[in-house]
Amino acid sequence: MVTFVDRVTLHLRAGKGGNGCVSVRREKFKPLAGPDGGNGGHGGDIVLVADPQVTTLLSYHHSPHRSGGNGGFGMGDNRSGAAGESIELPVPLGTVVKDPSGEVLVDLIEPGMRFVVAPGGLGGLGNASLASPKRKAPGFALLGTPGWEGDVVLELKTVADVALVGFPSAGKSSLIAAISAARPKIADYPFTTLHPNLGVVEAGDVRFTVADVPGLIEGASSGRGLGLEFLRHVERCTALVHVLDCATLDPGRDPLTDLDVILAELAAYPVPEGQLPLLERPQVIALNKVDVPEARDLADLVRPELEARGYRVFEISTVSRSGLRELSFALASIVAEHRAAQAATPKPERVVIRPRGAEQDFSVRVEGGTYGPIYRILGAKPLRWVQQTDFQNDEAVGYLADRLEKLGVEDELYRLGATPGATVVIGGDDGVIFDWQPSLSSVAELMTAPRGTDPRLDQNSRRTTAQRRERYHERMDAKAEAREELEAERLAARSEAEDDEQ
């Protein structure tokens, strides 16, 4: 049964915004007293919260699908819809949030840090909010936009002061069980620990955490064995303790060879930018299992060479508990010194980035097509406006045309050579396709039409009074010309007849 998970993919869907309402207030003696449609509620967000009480991503391994609440629809009498319920997902300290491509979105390393990973959709405006001195009674409302939907990857990197590194079965789990209250699974088996174990150690007045991470083998930096699953758990540690097995019976292994392999793998692992490389951090050697006579002799043999390399060496035994006190106080001294240095270093001021509007909120891309060029409009604003438009309502479509014209889309299409009837797409592959008609970019606020209609979209070919009058005069002039021709022919025939008689 899985008991520890440090990497999981979440499938998220934020709440959808509620639609705005189209309503007209009705009072006694005032059958049409003005619009009073309320706004739709915003969709619920999905928020990640760094919680020190959470130590694993196991709950999200079993339930990776999470959804926010949808916003309520607007109602008459200026009643807005209820906002969708936001959900908070507690994650362990040290959780790195990435998108499916591997780009880091946020690193949750401080308790209480919050990150809106999936923002909810916007609620649509009701016709009361859309009313203006020029558009006094809108017959349409805006629709709610869908919330963010997609996948994110949560990757846990253990936050501990000290990391125990070494080959499998070197005694790391026994060591953390001996110096702390942690109780990892310990047995004489040839395979490694499958997940990190955290323990709290008290040495004098210093309290620090120790991480027993999965065992390291040759080639781990390139992904062999647990590989990166192990190495990412030592990224945040202050000090490293090399636990070397002095009682191993495996051929070709000895403490010096094991240490060289471990150092090579730590050197090959690239730490994130801004962090200290693993080999430049304080390192301590723990020669384990010296309760075995042969192991004691081997420890005495290799200790001078290790000290000559500049390491502090401790001979320990988790069975007899010899050397554990000295090791604990040495680690406490390193941790206390590091904490004092951090406290003396002023923390950088957290910069709050408030994005400003771009110089151009859209772009138009010309694509080749079988029946002519296709003009694709891309941008957050046009896409959001299309999502808010009810295409069954002519007035709403006219309002969309006005918004696009004010944004400068019409001018950009003209500049790129678009002609009336050209194919225009707003959005990506699933965007809205329509035939562009520049005549739609007139001022809708100055037009009078029944609610829910737009005269610019009226395709009625009925002639106006002036056109009928002009056509009538053309027919009368044609008839007069025909009568004059007939009269001229009659007079000519009569003149010929008189000449014949003479």
Binding site listing for GTP: 166-173, 191-195, 212-215, 288-291, 317-319
| Cα gap 335→332, rounded to integer Å | 5
Quick check: helix, strand or coil at residue 412? helix
Q: Which residues pair with 95 in a beta bridge?
A: 108, 156
How far CA 377 is from CA of 322, 392, 413, 418, 419, in Å, comes to 73, 22, 9, 12, 15
In this structure, are residues 196 and 158 in contact, taking their beta carbons and an 8 Å threshold? yes
Q: Output the known binding site for Mg(2+).
A: 173, 193
Q: What is the DSSP string of 9-76?
A: EEEEEPPPPPPP---B--BTTBS---B-PPPPPPPPPEEEEE-TT----HHHHH--EEEPPPPPPPBT
Which amino acid belongs to residue 72?
A: G
Distance CA 408, CA 420 (A): 17
| CA 368 to each of CA 10, 375, 387, 411, 420: distance values in angstroms, whole numbers, following the listed order | 38, 9, 26, 20, 17
**CA pair distance 162, 164, nearest whole angstrom:** 7
Q: SS3 of 90, please? A: strand
Give the integer Cα–Cα distance in Å for 81 and 72. Answer: 4
| Chain CA centroid to CA 215, Å | 34
Burial string for 448-461 (b: 16+ CB within 10 Å, else e) reads: ebeeebbebeeeee
Q: Which residues are annotated as a binding site?
A: 166-173, 191-195, 212-215, 288-291, 317-319
Distance CA 354, CA 358 (A): 12
